[in-house]
Every structure is written in structure tokens, then in C-alpha cells.
Amino acid sequence: MGYGRKITGGKYHKLRKKVKSSLPGIERKVKLRETKQKVLRGRGGNKRSVLLTANTVNVMDSKTKIAKKTKITNVLETPSNRFLARQNILTKGAVIETELGKAKITNRPSQEGSVQAVLVE
């Protein structure tokens, strides 16, 4: 029998054709460099900004409940993929070194316009 056919020899037919909303998006990796953003057009004409590169972070201190904007000096480790830390790529869950100390990224920088983190003791 031919490829993609039923055991009886009949063809399989698609339920629907491909639509743009079901296609995967572009994978963006936020690198540790001078901050650079891009504005994208979303569904319904909405605008959203995404990060391409970043070197600043909003760090929240869990004890004092005060947020401060500081510079990122290095990416120490990334639990999801150790190779991302070697390339200084910022992802959710990555442990970074800042001027205030070690911090863990709590948001997804590739889909938002900023980097948010919490200090780690």
C-alpha cells in the first residue's frame, strides 16, 4: 500500500488547512548585552514589546520588599540548559550575578519587555 493511506487503500484527508494562529512563533534568545527591544504586532492589532538583548534587571528583595534596578554582570547557571549559561542567555529560572548579589529571573524576558528577578541568599 502507499504511504499515508488506510489499510483499505483509501486516502486520509486533513480536517482543516494550516492557519497562521496555529504556527509556532519565532524563538527569541535574550542575550546579555546593551538593552535592545522590539515592538511586535499582536492579534487584533495589539502591540507588545519583546527583549532582544538586556543588561539591566529589576531586582526584588524579599525581606525589605523593595525593588531596585541594577546591572547584570554575568549568567551563573541555568537549570533548564547548562549551555545557555555559557552563552550568557537570559531565561526564566536562570541565576544571574548583579551588583546587589545573586538573583533568580522570575519572568520570561523573551516574551516581555523587561527582566524581573528575586535576590537569592
Domain assignment present for 3: no
Domain assignment present for 115: yes
Domain assignment present for 16: no
Domain extent for 96: 28-119
Domain assignment present for 53: yes
Determine the pLDDT at residue 73.
Answer: 96
CATH number for the domain spanning 110: value is 3.10.290.70
Query: Angle at Cα 53 formed by Cα 108 and Cα 86, nearest 5°?
Result: 80
**Distance of alpha carbon 45 from alpha carbon 99, whole angstroms:** 39
Give the chain's domain count. Answer: 1
Q: What is the pTM of this model?
A: 0.79
Q: Is the pLDDT of residue 116 over 70?
A: yes
Domain assignment present for 113: yes
β partners of residue 5: 11
Quick: pLDDT tens for 55-112: 999 999 988 889 999 999 999 999 999 999 999 999 999 999 999 999 999 999 999 9
Determine the distance from the C-alpha atom of residue 112 to the mean position of all C-alpha atoms in its chain, rounded to a whole number: 8
pLDDT bin (cut points 50, 70, 90) of residue 18 is: confident
Determine the pLDDT at residue 2.
Answer: 61
